[in-house]
């Protein structure tokens, strides 16, 4: 009998990083398995950008829908619920849990299966050190993305009138967009432009505050992310919490130097001194680092750009990610 695979996450009605990974993995394995996406909302509520067909979607209505399946779970809260259902209904379900972030709460209410996937080194540390998951039960699989048709390496921007930094992330307190505008307003070189792309609960406040500044723009939802990245000179993330951000991998794919703080897997994608510049957790230092971009020599910029593309090809390709998940599924199916 063909192996049946369900991939699930809580917020398929929103457009986010772990949901994008879910869809990418589903697309990569469905030629080999009877694979569907499992959700908790009506099909019409799914975000259209995921392009999940109606025939590939199953809405969870009955716990027995999980029986005799392998379920790939993207989301700690969903994992806990499904583990409880398995125990209550004595389901023959095998889980692969994908830990997408670094958490420091709800330890007593977080239940993990035997097979756990970590998406970065820092995420692995979180699983072992905070949650007490055995290292032998964890497999590191980096997120990977497909190349796009027109990935040209970045060119030096030092002679242009502006240096564009793309900050693509959900607009909320964890990603710190409002905090960045508040702390850096009036402190940046006029050439520095930070463009915030993304939706979220803080978007309207961000738009209002950006209108009063010269260095910041709130773009909102960007339909063509590749074009936005292509127009930028750097990709930046300065979050309080991360797993392995897709936006930085996309920047590496396009050959963009990355501006990162040492949170989650940020510095595993943008390696300081190689293809990335480390942003310290100090606002005055952050302003100085961003202003210093105006003085980076062309050869140094191009070196980082080339290293970014090389980092993508070495670590974060789509095929490498999909092959790892297929191997994981085969391993579980054989047991």
Query: CA-CA distance, 42 to 73, in Å (whole number)?
Result: 19
Collect the ranges in the chain with pLDDT lower than 70: 1, 149-160
The CATH number that domain 163-315 falls under is 3.40.50.2000
User: What is the chain's length?
Assistant: 335
pLDDT at 3: 83
Say yes or no: do domains 4-144+317-334 and 163-315 share a fold: yes
Per residue in 261-275, pLDDT (tens digit) is 999 999 999 999 999
Closest to 269 measured CA to CA, from 229, 227, 320, 309: 309
Where do the domains of the chain lie?
4-144+317-334, 163-315
| pTM to 2 decimal places | 0.91
Per residue in 271-318, pLDDT (tens digit) is 999 999 999 999 999 999 999 999 999 999 999 999 999 999 999 999
Closest to 71 measured CA to CA, from 118, 13, 8, 154: 8
CATH topology of domain 4-144+317-334: Rossmann fold (3.40.50)
């Amino acid at each position: 009998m063909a192996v049946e695979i369900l991939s699930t996450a809580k917020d398929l009605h929103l457009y986010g990083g772990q949901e994008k990974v879910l869809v990418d993995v589903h697309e990569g394995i469905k030629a080999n398995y009877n694979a569907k996406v499992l959700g908790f909302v009506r099909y019409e509520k799914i975000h259209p950008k995921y392009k999940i067909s109606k025939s590939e979607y199953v809405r969870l209505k009955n716990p027995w829908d999980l029986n005799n399946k392998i379920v790939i779970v993207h989301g700690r809260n969903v994992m806990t619920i499904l583990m409880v259902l398995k125990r209550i209904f004595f389901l023959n379900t095998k889980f692969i849990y994908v830990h997408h972030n670094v958490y420091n709460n709800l330890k007593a209410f977080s239940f993990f299966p035997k097979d756990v996937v970590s998406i970065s080194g820092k995420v692995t540390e979180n699983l072992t050190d905070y949650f007490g998951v055995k290292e032998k039960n964890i497999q590191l699989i980096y997120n990977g993305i497909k190349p796009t048709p027109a990935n040209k390496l970045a060119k030096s921007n030092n002679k242009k009138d502006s240096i564009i930094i793309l900050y693509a992330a959900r607009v909320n307190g964890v990603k710190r967009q409002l905090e960045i505008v508040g702390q850096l307003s009036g402190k940046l070189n006029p050439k520095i432009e930070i463009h915030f792309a993304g939706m979220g609960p803080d978007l309207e406040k961000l738009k209002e505050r950006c209108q009063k500044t010269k260095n910041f723009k709130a773009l909102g939802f960007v339909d063509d992310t590749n074009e936005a990245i292509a127009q930028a000179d750097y990709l930046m993330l300065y979050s309080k919490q991360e797993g392995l951000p897709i936006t930085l991998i996309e920047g590496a794919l396009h050959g963009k130097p990355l501006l990162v703080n040492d949170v989650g897997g940020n510095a595993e994608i943008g390696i300081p001194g190689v293809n990335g510049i480390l942003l310290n957790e100090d606002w005055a230092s952050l302003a100085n680092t961003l202003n210093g971009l105006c003085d980076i020599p062309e050869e140094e910029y191009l070196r980082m750009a080339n290293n970014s593309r090389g980092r993508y090809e070495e670590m974060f390709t789509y095929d490498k990610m999909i092959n790892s998940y297929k191997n994981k599924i085969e391993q579980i199916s054989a047991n």
